[in-house]
Amino acid sequence: MARFLFFMFLASVGFISSARARALAYFNRDLTTVDVVDLSRYSGRWYEIARLPNFFEKNDMTNITADYDLLPSGQVSVCNGCHRGNGRETEVNGVARAVDGTNTKLEVAFAPSILRFLPFVWGNYWILDLDPEYQWSLVGEPTRKYLWILARQPEMSEDVFRTICSIAQDKGYDITDMIRPLQRH
């Protein structure tokens, strides 16, 4: 019975991986990223200026940050932090890896390292647009379900914000429900 369950698990992982690959091929066909990203310049603190709603970020989160640090392995350590409505600080740590030679398409995992061999624990992190001075970034993924506007400063001018939103719309994102979390740094 244990052998059967193990083979069912492996078959499920294979099916999920195959379905994910087919979905990526379908949605990926016209979503463009920047040409190249220097991960050492991209490293450091980013503030979440806006995002599309998602299941893992709650509405009571404020002061949302992402800290990236280039590791000797070429991967990137990721530390996402925020304040919750109850005043508690929360953070989650993960790792990102480049999936192309340009560092524009990354995959991020927050699962324990022992589970990172599973393809479905990795999520797409595509750098769709990037300020030439690395002061803001537009991050999304091929299904266009997830989207973030990040900046090096906790606030962004309305003109720059509208410009980035226009870029997101041009890339096929519906930004109607964009959430702008409070940043009190």
pLDDT tens digits for range 106-129: 999 999 999 999 999 999 999 999
Q: Does residue 141 surpass a pLDDT of 50?
A: yes
Contacts of 102 (CB under 8 A, 6+ apart): 33, 35, 36, 37
Segment holding 76, helix H or strand E: strand 76-83
Q: Model confidence at 29, in pLDDT bands (50, 70, 90)?
A: low
pLDDT attached to residue 58: 87
Sort strands 122-130 and 136-140 into parallel, antiparallel or unpaired: antiparallel
- In one-letter notation, the amino acid at residue 64 is I
Coil, strand, or helix at residue 39?
A: helix
Identify whether the C-beta of residue 66 lies closer than 8 Å to the C-beta of residue 138.
Answer: no
Rounded CA separation 105/110 (Å): 17
Identify whether the C-beta of residue 137 lies closer than 8 Å to the C-beta of residue 46.
Answer: yes
Query: Which of residues 103 and 87 earns the better pLDDT score?
Result: 103
Residue 46 tokens, joined:
């980013």
Residues of the chain above pLDDT 70, percent: 84
Segment holding 120, helix H or strand E: none
Query: What is the value of pTM for the model shown?
Result: 0.83
Domains within the chain, CATH numbers bracketed? 31-170 (2.40.128.20)
pLDDT attached to residue 7: 35
Contacts of 24 (CB under 8 A, 6+ apart): 124, 142
pLDDT attached to residue 60: 85
User: Average per-residue pLDDT in the chain?
Assistant: 87
Contacts 24+ apart (CB under 8 A), 66-75: 66/150, 68/39, 68/42, 68/43, 68/44, 68/96, 69/43, 69/44, 70/39, 70/40, 70/43, 71/95, 74/98
pLDDT tens digits for range 31-75: 999 999 999 999 999 999 999 999 989 888 989 999 999 999 999
Residue 156 tokens, joined:
């962004």
